[in-house]
A and B are shown apart, each in its own frame.
Chain A
Amino acid sequence: MAGARGAGLRIPGVRKLEHSLFVYRRIWRGTFFGTLVSPVLYLSAMGVALGSLVPTLTAFGGVPYLVFLAPGLLAAQAMQTATQESSWPLFAGFKWNKTFEAMVQTPQGVRDIVIGHLYWLVVRVGIVTGVFLAVAFLFGAVNSPTVILAWPAAILTGVAFGMPMAAWTASRKTEQSFAFVFRFIITPLFLFSGTFFPIEQLPQPVQAIAWLTPLFHGVSLTRSLAIGHDLDVVILAIHALVLIGLAALGTLIAFRTFRKRLIV
């Protein structure tokens, strides 16, 4: 019986992930160059060239600037990649290609699309940060074995941005606000969340604000794990919980905004 099919156990979101992989298989060559070149450029310009002007940091038991910078960039890259994936490409599924409209006409539901997008963020950010880590390793920017934990930390950072952004994107009628998000949210976070310098360099009140920004938690978690010096499990857990909380909240709101958009 055709009707009985699909009645058994099924994992939500897998088909949506397959769709993303179908599309990625078509376009990966175009994106892979940027994925590879971006860490090379940043690490050589900021880490090596600029870093040669910066004395060894006292933090983390004293590390060269390149070693300090690389995990910060890693987390920031995760944020940017996930936010990007949740803006224009996701919006296309609602408006330009109407992929999601087609999907909800099949047994796939809103839940599958949201969770499938989350899977896709994990895969996409995983690829970008994986390449980044490989390049950073070649630059000698990472050497602690705990760096293997910095990878999932960076992916978590990406999801913590990507899911709230996805929820927002689903509620947009036009794509105009995306550029605003990047210019006024993502870029300032990129600059002031401890990516390039320890936030202790900032005035006290600004430091407090930095604690409230999600990227700070992503950068701190990723950096601590990448350098692996004197790990404070409680602090790490706080950072991780903030990121998990953001990802979960974004996902819950996305269920609502995706549904409102697709089921009318």
Chain B
Amino acid sequence: MPSPEHVSEPLIRARNLTKRFADFTAVDGIDFDVAAGESFGFLGPNGAGKTSTMRMIGAVSPRTSGDLRVLGDDPEQKGARIRGRLGVVPQLDTLDMELTVLENLLIYGRYFDISYVEARRRATDLLEFVQLTDRAKSLVEPLSGGMKRRLTIARALINEPELLLLDEPTTGLDPQARHLVWDRLYRLKQGGTTLVLTTHYMDEAEQLCDRLVVMDNAKIVAEGSPRALIEKYSTREVLELRFPVGVQETLDGQLDGLGERIEHLPDRVLVYAADGEAAAVAVHERGLLPETMLVRRSSLEDVFLRLTGRTLVE
């Protein structure tokens, strides 16, 4: 049996990767590997260093120090070659407002030296895939946010990339539009495309990522599959308590011992317990009367709260 390294060299390999701008460190010595076919996520709040990391992977931002290999090459030596094999969905849409939906795809294909005939063939398929076929001749400007996002994804696929980089693919979209994007990304993942995405939505990370790293303040603070992270850093269930205004501040230890851990957020109290229902019963037995009680399963949000003491979306 060959060793795993021989079977597949990682598509991305970062060691002590660092990015500093004049007066601050955006990425501070992070290590990670992304394997072929994997769906890998960077989860963290705004400003954690996710976008800077993505730009270094995408060979558009030189690293300050450390080591980085993407598709076997160094982005600083072989930038154009790497970019030719990547698909990039940037955080903000960079679509050409002056051109039509179809033209956006054609010209983007030309950047990869794809012939017009081939680009048109691929564009037709991709518009079908992102459900924009009927808008092919429309200008980009009047499209909804979700449609623009889908078009950006289609554009990123025109060169049949081996690796798709998505920087906050659904930020700013309404729930329906997000689910449509997720569905398309899920199909790509099923088809074997390697996805690397950043997000500050825990549900997005749970939906799409096989494995993820949690970033905070330019560093990686945890790594694993969503399930493993939840198992490691949280309890199975969470009891959320909301008290009438002013009451939470007077609780003064009355909840102690109800679960493994208690978090006081500005608007609610989280009780981390293996059995949320039992904890809820115990709250009543202690004579406490919260306005609402909700038992839910632990999520990556709880992992993040545990690791950083802060919520993801503030």
Of the 9-residue stretches B7-15, B90-98, B197-205, B280-288, which lies at the interface with chain A?
B90-98
- Chain-A contact segment, one of B41-49, B79-87, B173-181, B212-220: B79-87
B94/A104 in contact, CB under 8 A: no
Chain A residues positioned under 8 Å from B94 (CB to CB): 97-99, 101-102
A-B CB contact pairs (8 Å), 25 listed: A3-B81, A5-B113, A19-B107, A19-B110, A22-B103, A22-B106, A26-B99, A26-B103, A97-B95, A97-B98, A98-B94, A102-B90, A104-B60, A105-B60, A105-B90, A106-B84, A106-B108, A107-B80, A107-B113, A108-B111, A109-B79, A262-B60, A263-B60, A263-B61, A264-B61
Count residues of chain B with CB under 8 A from any CB of chain A: 34
Is B183's CB within 8 Å of the partner chain A? no
Residues in chain A near residue B112, CB distance under 8 A: 5-6, 106-107
Q: When chains A and B are docked, how far (Å) is the Cα of A256 from the Cα of B111?
A: 22
Q: State whether A263 touches B62 (Cβ < 8 A).
A: yes
Interface size class of A (residues with CB under 8 A): 20 to 34
Is the beta-carbon distance between B92 and A107 smaller than 8 angstroms? no
Q: B122-152 vs A: 1/0 string, CB under 8 Å?
A: 0000000000000000000000000000000
Closest A-B pairs by Cβ, 7 of them: A106-B111, A102-B94, A98-B94, A107-B80, A107-B84, A105-B88, A23-B98
A15 partner residues in chain B, CB cutoff 8 A: 107, 110-111, 113
Looking at A22, A107, A109, the one whose CB has the most chain B CB atoms below 10 A away is A107
Bound-state Cα–Cα, A22 to B106, Å: 10
In this assembly, does A103 line the interface, its C-beta being within 8 Å of a C-beta of chain B?
yes
Is B263 an interface residue when CB atoms closer than 8 A count as contact? no
- A107–B111 touching, CB < 8 Å: yes
Which chain B residues lie closer than 8 Å to A19 at the CB level?
A: 96, 107, 110
Distance between B152 CB and nearest chain A CB, rounded to angstroms? 9
Complex CA–CA separation, A104 to B103 (angstroms): 18
Q: Does A27 contact B (CB under 8 A)?
A: yes
Most buried by A among B71, B94, B103, B111: B111
Q: In the complex, A102→B160 CA distance in Å?
A: 17
| B contact residues around A106 at 8 Å (CB) | 83-84, 108, 111-112, 159
Q: Is A175 an interface residue (CB 8 A)?
A: no
Whether a CB of chain B sits under 8 angstroms from the CB of A2 is: yes
Q: Tally inter-chain residue pairs, CB-CB below 8 A.
A: 89
- The answer to whether A6 touches B84 (Cβ under 8 A) is yes
Q: How many angstroms from the CA of A106 to the CA of B86 in the assembled complex?
A: 8
Check A105–B107 contact: CB distance below 8 A: no
| Cα separation A2 to B157 with both chains bound (whole Å) | 13
Contact (Cβ within 8 A) A23 B99: yes
Interface residue ranges of A1-36 to B (CB < 8 Å): 2-3, 5-7, 10, 15, 18-19, 22-23, 26-27
Q: In the complex, A15 Cα to B115 Cα: how many Å?
A: 12
* Contact partner, B80, options A6, A22, A23, A99, Cβ 8 Å: A6
Segment 54-90 of B: residues with Cβ below 8 Å from A: 55, 58, 60-62, 71, 79-81, 83-86, 88, 90
Judge whether A27 and B98 touch: CB under 8 Å. Answer: yes
- Closest residue on chain A to residue B93 by CB atoms: A98
Q: Which of B62, B90, B99 contacts A101 (CB 8 A)?
A: B90
Within 8 A of A (CB), among B151-184: 159-160, 162
Which residues of A from 204 to 240 have beta carbons under 8 Å from B?
Answer: none
How many angstroms from the CA of A118 to the CA of B28 in the assembled complex?
39
Q: In the complex, A105→B80 CA distance in Å?
A: 9
Please, which residues of chain A bring their CB within 8 A of the CB of B110?
15, 18-19
Hey, which chain A residues are within 8 Å of B160, CB to CB?
Answer: 2
